[in-house]
Amino acid sequence: MKIKSYELFKVQPRWLFLKIETDEGMTGWGEPVVEGRAATVEAAVHELMEYLIGKDPFHIEDHWNVLYRGGFYRGGPILMSAISGIDQALWDILGKYHNVPVHQLLGGKAREKIRVYSWIGGDRPNEVGAAAKQVVDKGFTAVKMNATDEMQYIDSFEKIDRVLSNVAAIREAVGPYVGIGVDFHGRVHKPMAKILAKELEPFKPMFIEEPVLPENNEALREIARNTAIPIATGERMFSKWDFKQVLVDGYVDIIQPDLSHAGGITECKKILSIAEAFDVAAAPHCPLGPIALAACLQVDATCHNAFIQEQSLGIHYNEGSDLLDYLVDGSVFHYKDGYVDIPNKPGLGIEINEDHVRKMSETGHNWRNPIWRHQDNSVAEW
């Protein structure tokens, strides 16, 4: 069997799908995208696929190393996201060929289902208490919200109090034991992050996420000393080498690699396994589409330290289309009692509605995240 051709589909709300086809008519799907940079990743996929046309699709580990090591410059969000989608599609083909789900090829399931959480509150969180109550009433046992809007290096305690008020409203609405993830989103700099992490403790969050930007990970040491809340990070880290130092330093409790950004199934399985050796949990990042989520679940199935999975159903970014719109059978992602079953169908375990993909790709998208500014008109982290 040889790789014969491929196609890319830019589809709403902000996703990029990849279809790889073999000379025997077998196909695999991947999701190579950086949110807001879909066209850039699309160009990178075209360049990387030049290496793979005519090759055996089953040599996944070798292909990964060629795509990663074959160029003098490597890593980063664009190249690693391109590799991620290609890798997902190759695993999808391999599973379909052997008529087994990918997790069986990775050693089999360590679990039958995994907990999921629901996003609430949008980019600028408000009315989060009512929103949390709605999703908990639907069966979710954990929620996540953006902590704050723009925040300067040193900012007003009014903004701190606003965060605390929002989290307090959630806790009051859902009770003492529903998990609350508080995403700092890299918007908070170290001086204010130390304060916020400490002040959030009475509300017993499930975790605080990306309390500082990944380029400032050395600051996690000081934040960890100021709080007992588990610290999560990793959505903007793109390989095992990016995660190496943060694991050695020991100030992170939960890693969050994204299977569409951090090298796909091949690399993220390794990242999670390395983290297990440091007694660190995993909650893969996935505010993306159905292919990315399916890939996450296949890896979650095989990793003992995976404890919860992000998913995008109903997330505020999903305008125009949502997670299930591109599937033939959306019941594969049926959430019950806060969990989703691990897909057991061949490959990634989902069937893409190709007709709908093609129809939506005719419109495509040009999604960009907003550019925020502080009151002094300096650029703020989004």
- The residues annotated with a catalytic role in the active site are 185, 285
Q: Do 123 and 139 contact (CB within 8 A), yes or no?
A: no
According to DSSP, residue 376 is labeled T
Q: Which residue has the tokens 């299977």?
A: 259
In order, the DSSP letters of 4-69 are EEEEEEEETTTEEEEEEEETTS-EEEE----TT-HHHHHHHHHHHHTTTTTS-TT-HHHHHHHHHH
**Is the separation of the CB atoms in 164 and 194 below 8 Å?**
no
- Residue 303 to residue 286: CA distance in whole angstroms: 17
Which residue blocks in the chain are alpha helix, DSSP H? 38-49, 60-69, 76-98, 102-105, 128-137, 157-174, 190-199, 220-226, 240-249, 264-277, 290-300, 354-361
* 273, HSE (Cβ side, Cα atoms, 13 Å): 12
Q: Please tell me the distance from the alpha carbon of residue 350 to that of residue 11, in angstroms, as a whole number.
A: 18
Report whether the peptide linkage leading into residue 214 is cis, meaning its omega lies within 30 degrees of zero: no
Is residue 207 within 8 Å of residue 254, measured between CB atoms? yes
